[in-house]
Amino acid sequence: MRLYLAVFALLAAVHCEELFSGSWKRTWKSGLDFWTHGFSTERPVDIRVPQSSLYAVKDFLKKNNIPFTVMINDVQDLLDKEKAEMVGNAKMERNTKSFNFAAYHDLETLYSFMDTLVASHPNLISKVHIGNSYENRPMYALKFSTGGVSRPAIWVDAGIHSREWVTQASAAWIANKIASDYGVDPSVTSVLGQMDIYLMIVTNPDGYVFTHTNNRMWRKTRSVNSGSSCRGADPNRNWDAGFGGPGASKDPCSESYHGPFANSEVEVKNVVDFITGHGNFKSFISMHSYSQLLMYPYGYTCTDVPDKSELHSVGTAAIEELTSLYNTRYQVGSICKIIYQASGGSIDWTYNIGIKYSFAFELRDTGFYGFLLPANQIIPTAEETWLGLKYIMQYVRNHPY
C-alpha cells in the first residue's frame, strides 16, 4: 500500500488565475490531488503532491513566485499512525467487551482491565496511583472526570476486606457502566458535568492476592505485627475515628485487630492522605459484603450523627431504587445500631472530617453463600447496587454544601 511514499501537501497562494485555468493542470495532469477547490486569487489552495513530482512542483511554484508552506510532511505516515490507532482502539474495545464481568478475576487481570478501560476512554478516565500496599503493590483509583480543576468529588471503594469478592467484581462492572453511560444516561452525565468520581476497585491488593493463593477467608491486610506470628490488621478498624475503642480487637491474631495505631496500615494511610490532599470530596462510599445493608455513621458510637435524618432518608430512597430491580431486600441504619459497634471505621472518619454523605454498603447475600457468592450473581448484584449508588450520587450533586 505504499503508493505514495513521501507526499508533500503544499499550500499555494494563488496569484494568477491563468495558472489554474490552464497551464498548471496541463503540466501535471496526473498525481496532483487538490484538497480544496473553488479558487479565487485571495484564497489558498491545498494540494497533496506525490513524491515523484515533489521537486518539480516546488520548482514550478518558486519560479512563478507562488508562496507555499508545507502543512503535512508525510501524509502516508499520518495515515499509518491513524490506522494503527484505530486497530488498537478496536482491539481494546473488544477487550473491555470481552472482559467477563460475570466471573471472579485475580489481581493482575483486574489491573489489566483498568488499563484497558482507561485506554478506551482517555478523555473521561485516568488511573491515579495513590501509593503502594504493604507488600509494595500499587493501589490505583480510577478517576472519572469531564474537566475542571479539583472539582467536588465522590469516592467509592471496594475490597478493603479482601474476602468480600463480590465487591471488587461489582466495582469492575460499575466502572465499565459509568464509562458507557456517560453521554447516554442523563443522571450519570449530569453528575459528571459537575463532579468527579473516584473508584478504587481493589483497596486491599495484598489481601486480595492472599485470598487467591492461600486463604479464601482472609480479611485483613498482610502487614507483619511485631511480636506476633499473626499478620495483618483490619483495615476498617484502623481509621482515626474512635480508634481502639469498643468493637475492635487489640489482639494481632484477631480478624478485627485495629493495628498498633491509627493509619498504621499503609493502605489506609494512602487513602487518608489522598482524601485530605484533595480536599474537596463531598461523598465517601465503601462497599463490603455480606448482609444486604446500607449504613451511615457512626460505628464507633451509637449516638446519632447530626445529619442522621437526612442520611437515613437518602439511604432509604437509595435502597428503594436498588430493590426495584430484583426485589433484593436491604435494611438501612447506622453501623452501630444495624450490625455492631465498631471503632476505627472509614466512614466515621470521613464523616468527622466533613464529608457528610458517607455510606457503607453490605452487598449480597444474607448468609446462604455469604462470602462465597456464585459468579452468576455478580452482575445482578452490580446492577442493583449501581441503582442505589446512582441515586446517592445524583442526590449529592443536587445538594452541594
Partner 1 sequence: MASTGDLEPTHYPARRAATVALHYLNTHHGSPFRVFGLQQVHKASAEDVAAGGRKYKLDFSVTDWASGSEGPALRCSADVLFPQTERHSGPEVQLRCEALQQINRTAQEEHAFYQRYISPDSAVSARDIPDSYGNVSEEMQPFWRLARVAASFIMLRESSERTEFNMAQVASVAQQGSSEEQLMLEFVVLLHDFPSQEIIQWKLLASWSPDRGVRVLQTEWQPRCPHATKPPN
Strands 357-363 and 281-289, bridge-based pairing: parallel
Q: Quick one: how many helices (H) and strands (E) in the chain?
A: 13, 12
Helix, strand, coil percentages for the chain (3-state, nearest 5): 40, 20, 40
55 binds partner 1 (CB under 8 A): no
Q: How far is the CB of 284 from partner 1 (least distance, A)?
A: 21
Site string for partner 1, 142-181 (x = CB under 8 A): ----------------------------------------
Taking a C-beta distance cutoff of 8 angstroms, is the pair 332, 295 a contact?
yes
Pick 334 or 350: Cβ nearer partner 1: 334
Pick 21 or 228: Cβ nearer partner 1: 228
Q: How far is the CB of 333 from partner 1 (least distance, A)?
A: 6
Pick 79 or 372: Cβ nearer partner 1: 372
337 binds partner 1 (CB under 8 A): yes
Q: How far is the CB of 256 from partner 1 (least distance, A)?
A: 5
Which listed residue (164, 265, 267, 362) is catalytic?
A: 362
Torsion of CA 199, 204, 207, 209, to 10 degrees: 50
User: How far is the C-alpha of 68 from the C-alpha of 155, rounded, in Å?
Assistant: 54
Site string for partner 1, 56-95 (x = CB under 8 A): ----------------------------------------
Three-state secondary structure call for residue 142? strand
211 binds partner 1 (CB under 8 A): yes
Q: How far is the CB of 230 from partner 1 (least distance, A)?
A: 4
The conformational region for residue 358 under phi > 0 = left, psi -120 to 50 = alpha, else beta, is beta
Q: Which of 216, 224, 279, 399 binds partner 1 (CB under 8 A)?
A: 216
Residues facing residue 296 across a β-bridge: 334
Pick 50 or 259: Cβ nearer partner 1: 259
Return the closest-CA partner of residue 207 out of 197, 217, 221. Answer: 221
Taking a C-beta distance cutoff of 8 angstroms, is the pair 292, 330 a contact?
yes
108 binds partner 1 (CB under 8 A): no
Burial of 49 (0-12, 13-18, 19+ CB in 10 A): buried
Q: What is the grid cell recorded at 51?
A: 513524491
Q: How far is the CB of 155 from partner 1 (least distance, A)?
A: 23
Pick 19 or 294: Cβ nearer partner 1: 294
Residue 362 designated active-site: yes
Roughly what angle, to the nearest 10 degrees, separates helices 165-181 and 186-194? 90
Taking a C-beta distance cutoff of 8 angstroms, is the pair 152, 400 a contact?
yes
Pick 146 or 366: Cβ nearer partner 1: 366
338 binds partner 1 (CB under 8 A): yes
User: How far is the C-alpha of 190 from the C-alpha of 161, rounded, in Å?
Assistant: 32
Pick 353 or 375: Cβ nearer partner 1: 375
The CB density around residue 129, as the number of other CB atoms within 10 Å, is 10
User: How far is the C-alpha of 184 from the C-alpha of 62, rounded, in Å?
Assistant: 53
217 binds partner 1 (CB under 8 A): yes
291 binds partner 1 (CB under 8 A): yes
Site string for partner 1, 357-386 (x = CB under 8 A): ---------xxxxxxxxxx-x---------
Q: What is the grid cell recorded at 81?
A: 499512525
Return the closest-CA partner of residue 389 out of 292, 299, 296, 294. Answer: 294
Taking a C-beta distance cutoff of 8 angstroms, is the pair 207, 217 a contact?
no
Piece in contact with partner 1 (CB under 8 A), picked from 4-12, 305-313, 330-338, 382-390: 330-338
Q: How far is the CB of 384 from partner 1 (least distance, A)?
A: 13
Q: What is the grid cell recorded at 336?
A: 452501630
Site string for partner 1, 221-260 (x = CB under 8 A): -------xxxx--x--------------x---xxxx----
339 binds partner 1 (CB under 8 A): yes
121 binds partner 1 (CB under 8 A): no
316 binds partner 1 (CB under 8 A): no
The CB density around residue 26, as the number of other CB atoms within 10 Å, is 8
289 binds partner 1 (CB under 8 A): no
Residues that bind partner 1 (CB under 8 A): 103-104, 211-212, 214-219, 228-231, 234, 249, 253-256, 291, 302, 327, 329, 331-333, 337-341, 366-375, 377
Residues with active-site annotation: 362
